[in-house]
Amino acid sequence: MNANLPLRPDLEGESPYGAPEIDVPVRLNVNENPYPPSAAVIESIATAVAQAAQGLNRYPERDFPRLRAALADYLATESGAHATPEQIWAANGSNEVMLHVLQAFGGPGRTCLTFTPTYSMYPEYARDTLTDYETRPRRKDFTLDVDAAVSAINELRPAVVVLASPNNPTGTALPLEDIKRILEAARGHGPVLEAEIGSPARVSDCVVVIDEAYAEFRRPGVPSALELVGPAHPHLAVTRTMSKAFGAAGLRLGYLAADRALVDALRVVRLPYHLSAVTQAAALAALSHRAELMAQVASLRDERDAFVEWLRAQGLSAHESDANFVLFGPFPDREAVWRALLDAGVLIRVVGPEGFLRASIGTPDEMARLRTALTAAIGR
Ligand SMILES: Cc1ncc(COP(=O)(O)O)c(C=O)c1O
């Protein structure tokens, strides 16, 4: 019998998001870190989780102050950021952090603005929070046309602007100057807030989210927007994750740094106890090994730059990347190339502009297999 459910009309015909989960020897499709945790990291996590298990009859710490302090400490060493624990927020992946942002600041009659091509989950956060989703194109080289972005902010008065830097799937990082101009434009150009009876309507600032999921892979000299976080920019939030450089995608721990008032707004919309005691314990244990966990970042960067050069030597176009993936092409039939690679045991991603493919950076062995398979697929 067909289900007769009161599904929201805007969800009619929608399917669950996600890259294909295919079990092949070389998986380079979702920008994970190819290196599993070491025995020492596994042991620390196991010990911490065993300890947390002793208290599983109790709810976990709701606002996880120890984890927030450890994340603030990590950001201070990684980017020289001076965020206090109260300026940090965390959830089950930066996916959930972003959902919290849109739950707090988006909603019916409000707009979220992004610049395409970009991360394919952004429209889903908007849809799920009943927020209007507007996009404007990036330039041909995938940099941001800041003048056009400022005009769009003036015109739309979005509640939230999301900019990925480095951007997925292009790998493009944003200069700080561009972010500063966007922050300036966002001031006073958020939604107009309903007036209380007897007082005038108030214009708000638009919240600017810089999604730095891949920031640790940026090339030397490329700054992080974290240096702008604080009272001077109360409408700025910078999101990070342990899923990529940190090599802990399975942990599901994303986080954000922002001025305290913004973080406190997110605390209102989160479900109570959204971060399990097991997640908190494992994340704290992993953070205590950060030097080791991050050790492969430099070699992944080198591998990435070598892959870009190799692609260009094959006559392909490959975009400079500040992330752990490379967008390359164009192929007259990208699906056929993707399929040929899959048949050779290498899974990459069909994403981004027509004709292009994206591959995450793997171990040297995995990259060698990718190069061999690609050479065969394009018949060079
Ligand atoms: C730009 C960008 N932001 C956020 C995420 C989500 O990461 P997380 O695993 O922290 O939810 C991804 C994952 O691929 C991403 O590419």
CATH of the domain at 77: 3.40.640.10
What is the average pLDDT across 173-195? 95
Enter the pTM of the model: 0.96
254 ligand 1 Cβ < 6 A: yes
How many of the other CB atoms lie within 10 Å of CB of 55?
A: 11
The predicted model gives 162-186 an average pLDDT of 97
Q: Would the CB of 31 count as within 6 Å of ligand 1?
A: yes
Instruction: Look at the chain and report how many structural domains it folds into.
Output: 2
pLDDT in tens, 287-313: 999 888 777 899 999 999 999 999 999
Token pair for 258: 């922002």
168 lines ligand 1 (CB under 6 A): yes
Structure tokens at 185: 């434009």
What pLDDT is attached to residue 380?
A: 57
339-363 pLDDT per residue, tens: 999 999 999 999 999 999 999 999 9
Decide if 323 contacts 216 (C-beta within 8 A): no
Q: What is the mean pLDDT of residues 123-151?
A: 97
Query: Does 1 have pLDDT greater than 70?
Result: no
The CA-based diameter of the chain, rounded to the nearest angstrom, is 73
Whole-angstrom distance, CA of residue 358 vs CA of residue 367: 13
CB neighbour burial string for 246-280, b if at least 16 within 10 angstroms, e if fewer: bbbbebbbbbbbbbeebbebbeeebeeeebebbbb
- 51 domain-assigned: yes
Our mutation pick for probing the ligand 1 site, out of 120, 241, 251, counting the most ligand atoms within 8 A of Cβ, is 241
Q: Which DSSP letter does residue 320 get? A: -
Q: What percent of the chain has pLDDT over 70?
A: 99
Residue 14 covered by a domain:
no
Band of residue 3 on the pLDDT scale cut at 50, 70, 90: confident
The rounded Å distance from CA 213 to ligand 1 centre is 6
Same-domain check for residues 173 and 66: yes
Q: How far apart are CA 259 and CA 360, in angstroms?
A: 33
Ligand 1 atom closest to 167 (CA): 1
Mean pLDDT to the nearest integer, 16-32:
90
Ligand 1: which atom is nearest the Cα of residue 94?
A: 10
pLDDT for res 103: 98
Cα 288–chain centre separation: 22
How does pLDDT run across 231-259, given as a tens digit for each residue?
999 999 999 999 999 999 999 999 999 99
- 348 shares its domain with 285: no
1 domain residue, yes or no: no
Mean pLDDT calculated for residue range 14-39: 91
Q: Which domain holds residue 154?
A: 40-289
Residues 58, 280: Cα–Cα separation, whole Å: 14
The 8-class DSSP code of residue 230 comes to B
Q: How many helices, marked H, and strands, marked E, lie in the chain?
A: 12, 14
